[in-house]
Each structure stands twice: as structure tokens, then as C-alpha cells.
């Protein structure tokens, strides 16, 4: 595919064109799907195409997406994986037995649980610390001397916002690699590599694709010559956690509307958060776009164009009260995930259990592209019975 002539195009324009242009072979404005897994050689056993040997690494659709995401991140290179967790697992596997991982506490339970099991199995020390307290987190970092610092910004489901720049500076003083899971922000709202992180991870299943029909993950790097990136390139190739060509096509199709979707989702989330903060049945709204949120100033410094599409609310009452609110929702669907065009609600305690430390009255909301007025009306109708009960 020909790339656009104007290298200074905005992210919205680059996304709309899928990071490319017209297919020179056919004139197609949408790149073709190649289902081939292997590629022919000539009589002298030379590759017919020097860049096509086997589809595990040699898929043109995958390469186009990787170039687009790396460009959006302000990074050097990117690699797609079969899921967000596959991308996170590959990142963690660069740490050797006997070394240490310093991980932000209170992040996505799937990441936390996998890290605990992996580190125990591999003889890696895992230290979990509150990154919202940047000073104390950096002190812990200097004390433990980790090989990898893993952050999630904003965090899921507490929406904490770690100071990526300050933590990256402290980590590099200790020769640690910094990886940031920025799934809840996307490259349109925050670019951790430009704040000093070495790697940025996304579950592309979420907002990057945006339609709840693809599992994918991606890792981008700041320095393509670093040891960390060489490991990740080989890990993706050798371990084989790759994306299928059809899933790559769907992901690229979703990326074309990312700018529009994020604009609408962030505006909706801000409106919903503001309305919920004023509702008498809500104890707390966790959304960095609210001035009342402890991470508001940190988010304002690091995020541009909005504060994201995800929020959590603490319902006044018990687990049963929170579940009842979720059960009364009509427009907002009860399902596990986030970042899609449809709004979703999840009772995190039911999913994760007591060991996760999730409050029993917490509901996580992923706000979609519906009418903000309809979303607020749905939530209000579900919450009002709590204030009218005897």
C-alpha cells in the first residue's frame, strides 16, 4: 500500500486511511486479506519475495497495523500479538529467574494473577506497590532494583494515574525497563513512550478495535535496538502468539474509526461521570475527568483529548444493591470487557472474588457511542429505586 504523501497528517487522517493508501497492484482502497501461510521459492531456492517466508512474521496486514500503531505512539516499532494477555506475557518473559518485577498494584486482575503465577513458577521476585503514590513507588523502585517496572495507566478498575515520566526517570537510573499498559487511554489520549517509557502495551481487543469481535494485543517500543525489543521481536516470532490475517483485517477496519469513536466515548464518559457524581445513590465516581478525582491533575498533565471511556462507581449499599442496579440496566449491557461501541457494566467482585480486593459495591462502566442522554437515563432509572426504598 502507498503511504500518504503528507507525513504531517493528523492521527485522525492517518487512522482513516488505515496508515496506508491505495494498493498499487489493484487500486483497492482496502488492503486484501492474504490467507497464505507459506511462500514459494524459485529454482535456486531463493524466496520469490525477500520479505515473505512464513506468515507467522510475514503478513502485510499485520505489518501495516504495526507501522500505524508505532507511528501513533511516537515509537520505533510495534508487534501484534494474539491477545492483550499474550502481549503482557511476552513482555514479562524478558525478566530472568532471580531478577525482580516491580508491578503497580490494583490493576487488571488478569494481569496481576498471571504475573503472580508466572513469577512464582520462574523464581522471579514480584513486588506490588501503589503507583498512585509516586514518591513512595520510586523509593521502592530504588530499593528493589527491578529488571522490569510494569504500570497500567489509567488503571483498571480504580482509574489511578501513575506519573509515567517520574517513574521512568527513576527506573532508568536503576537500568530497569518500563512497560506501560495504556489500554484505557489509547495512543490518542496518552503516549507513554514520549513520557519516557520503554514499552507500551495495549489490549487491542478493546478500544483499538472497538467492536467486541477481535482478540488482539500490541507492544510498541521507543528504541528498536534495545535488548528488550530484540527479545520481544524474537518472542513473538519464536513462540508464535500471532494474529490471524482475518483478525488483522478486522482490527485495521476498527482502527479507521478510532478517532471518531474516542471523541464520542470520552465526551459521553465525562457527561455520565458528572451526572452520576450528583446522584444520591452513588457513593463515589472514579473517573479522572472529574476534578474531585485524586488523579485528575496527573491525568490532565499526561492525557490529551479526553480522560477515557472507562469509569467505576461505588454504589451506596451492599453487593446485592450493586448487582440490583446492574440488573435493572437496559441499554447498558452486562458483559465483561471494555472499549467497544456498546456500553457495558460489570460487577467486578463477582468476576474477581475476594482475593482481588475489589469493593463489593463497585460497578465498572465502559462507555460507548450511544446518546449520552440515553445512557444517563438508563443509569438513573436503575439507581433511583435505591433512594426510594423504605
Residue 209 covered by a domain: yes
Residue 386's nearest CA partner among 339, 337, 322, 313 is 322
Of 255, 274, 293, the residue that ends a domain is: 255
Does residue 161 sit within a domain? yes
- Residues 115, 200, single domain; the answer is yes
At residue 57's C-alpha, the angle toward residues 56 and 58, to 5°, is 105
In a domain, 337, yes or no: yes
HSE at residue 15, side-chain half, CA atoms within 13 A, is 21
Q: Which of 239, 255, 271 is the endpoint of a domain? A: 255
| Largest distance between two CA atoms of the chain | 85
Active site annotation includes 333 = no
Q: Are residues 29 and 151 in the same domain?
A: yes
Query: How many separate domains does the chain show?
Result: 2
Tell me the CA distances in angstroms from 200 to 187, 193, 215, 246, 304, one per residue in order: 9, 7, 18, 24, 17
Beta bridge partners of 310: 366
Q: How far apart, in whole angstroms, are the C-alpha atoms of residue 108 and residue 84? A: 11
Looking at the structure, do residues 167 and 312 belong to the same domain, yes or no? no
CATH number of the domain to which 293 belongs: 3.90.1150.10
Residue 114: name the closest of 92, 130, 129, 98 by CA. Answer: 92
Q: Determine the pLDDT at residue 34.
A: 87
Catalytic residue among 56, 165, 233, 328: 56
CA nearest neighbour of 125 among 108, 102, 151, 150? 102
Are 221 and 364 in a shared domain?
no
* Spans of the chain, pLDDT less than 70: 1-7, 389-390
Assigned domain for 80 exists: yes
Find the DSSP H helices in 123-174: 134-144, 164-173
- Enter the pTM of the model: 0.94
CB atoms within 10 A of CB 137: 22
40, 181: one domain? yes
Q: Distance (Å, rounded) from C-alpha 280 to C-alpha 384?
A: 9
Q: Is the Cβ–Cβ distance between 272 and 365 less than 8 Å?
A: yes
Q: What is the pLDDT of residue 243?
A: 94
Residue 308: domain span: 258-385
Among candidate residues 14, 191, 206, 222, the one labeled active-site is 206
245 and 378 co-located in one domain: no
pLDDT digits (tens, 9 = 90+) for 75-91: 999 999 999 999 999 99
- Distance, in Å, from the CA atom of 333 to the CA atom of 312, rounded to the nearest integer, reads 15
Read off the C-alpha cell for 386: 435505591
Q: Do 67 and 216 belong to one domain?
A: yes
Q: Would residue 181 show up in a list of annotated catalytic residues for this protein?
A: yes
- Pick from 314, 307, 261, 263: which is nearest to 287 by CA? 307
Is 1 inside any structural domain? no
Q: What is the per-residue pLDDT for 5?
A: 47
Catalytic residue among 108, 287, 309, 349: 108
Q: Is residue 205 part of a domain?
A: yes
- Alpha-carbon span 280 to 386, nearest angstrom: 9
Distance CA 161, CA 184 (A): 11
Same domain for 302 and 208, yes or no, is no
Instruction: Mark whether 8 is an active-site residue.
Output: no
Q: Same domain, yes or no, for 331 and 207?
A: no
Kindly report, residue by residue over 231-269, the tens digit of the pLDDT. 999 999 999 999 999 999 999 999 999 999 999 999 999
Q: Among 255, 281, 313, which residue terminates a domain?
A: 255
Please check whether residues 71 and 150 belong to one and the same domain.
yes
Q: What pLDDT sits at residue 121? A: 98
Q: Are strands 282-286 and 310-315 parallel, antiparallel or unpaired?
A: antiparallel
Q: Is 5 within a domain? A: no
266 with 225, same domain: the answer is no
**Domain assignment of residue 300, yes or no:** yes
CATH number of the domain where residue 170 is located: 3.40.640.10
* Per annotation, catalytic residue among 60, 181, 321, 378: 181
Q: Kindly state whether residues 206 and 275 are assigned to the same domain.
A: no
Angle, vertex CA 180, rays to CA 17 and CA 9, nearest 5: 25
Amino acid at each position: 500500500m502507498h503511504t500518504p504523501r503528507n507525513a504531517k497528517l493528523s492521527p485522525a487522517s492517518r487512522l482513516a486511511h488505515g496508515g496506508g493508501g491505495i494498493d498499487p497492484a489493484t487500486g483497492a482502497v482496502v488492503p486484501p486479506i492474504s490467507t497464505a501461510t507459506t511462500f514459494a521459492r524459485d529454482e535456486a531456492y531463493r524466496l520469490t519475495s525477500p520479505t515473505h517466508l512464513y506468515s507467522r512474521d510475514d503478513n502485510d496486514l499485520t505489518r501495516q497495523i504495526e507501522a500505524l500503531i508505532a507511528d501513533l505512539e511516537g515509537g520505533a516499532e510495534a508487534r501484534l500479538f494474539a491477545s492483550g494477555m499474550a502481549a503482557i506475557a511476552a513482555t514479562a518473559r524478558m525478566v530472568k529467574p532471580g531478577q525482580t518485577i516491580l508491578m503497580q498494584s490494583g490493576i487488571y486482575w488478569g494481569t496481576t494473577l498471571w504475573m503472580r503465577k508466572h513469577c512464582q513458577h520462574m523464581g522471579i521476585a514480584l513486588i506490588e506497590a501503589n503507583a498512585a503514590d509516586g514518591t513512595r513507588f520510586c523509593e521502592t523502585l530504588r530499593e528493589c532494583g527491578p529488571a522490569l517496572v510494569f504500570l497500567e495507566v489509567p488503571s483498571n478498575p480504580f482509574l489511578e494515574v501513575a506519573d509515567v515520566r517520574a517513574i521512568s526517570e527513576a527506573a532508568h537510573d536503576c537500568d530497569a525497563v518500563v512497560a506501560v499498559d495504556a489500554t484505557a487511554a489509547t495512543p490518542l489520549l496518552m503516549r507513554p513512550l514520549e513520557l519516557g517509557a520503554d514499552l507500551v502495551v495495549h489490549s487491542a481487543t478493546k478500544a483499538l478495535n472497538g467492536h467486541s469481535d477481535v482478540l488482539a494485543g500490541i507492544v510498541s517500543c521507543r528504541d528498536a535496538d534495545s535488548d528488550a525489543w530484540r527479545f520481544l521481536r524474537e518472542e513473538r516470532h519464536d513462540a508464535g502468539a500471532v494474529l490471524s490475517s482475518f483478525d488483522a483485517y478486522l482490527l485495521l477496519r476498527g482502527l479507521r474509526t478510532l478517532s471518531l469513536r474516542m471523541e464520542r466515548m470520552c465526551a459521553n464518559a465525562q457527561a455520565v461521570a458528572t451526572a452520576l457524581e450528583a446522584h444520591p445513590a452513588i457513593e463515589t465516581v472514579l473517573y479522572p475527568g472529574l476534578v474531585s478525582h485524586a488523579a485528575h491533575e496527573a491525568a490532565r498533565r499526561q492525557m490529551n483529548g479526553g480522560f477515557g471511556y472507562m469509569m467505576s462507581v461505588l454504589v451506596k449499599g451492599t453487593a446485592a444493591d450493586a448487582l440490583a442496579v446492574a440488573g435493572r440496566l437496559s441499554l447498558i449491557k452486562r458483559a465483561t470487557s471494555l472499549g467497544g461501541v456498546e456500553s457495558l457494566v460489570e460487577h467486578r467482585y463477582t468476576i474477581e472474588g475476594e482475593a482481588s480486593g475489589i469493593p463489593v459495591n463497585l460497578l465498572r462502566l465502559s462507555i460507548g457511542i450511544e446518546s449520552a442522554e440515553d445512557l444517563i437515563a438508563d443509569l438513573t432509572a436503575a439507581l433511583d429505586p435505591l433512594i426510594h426504598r423504605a
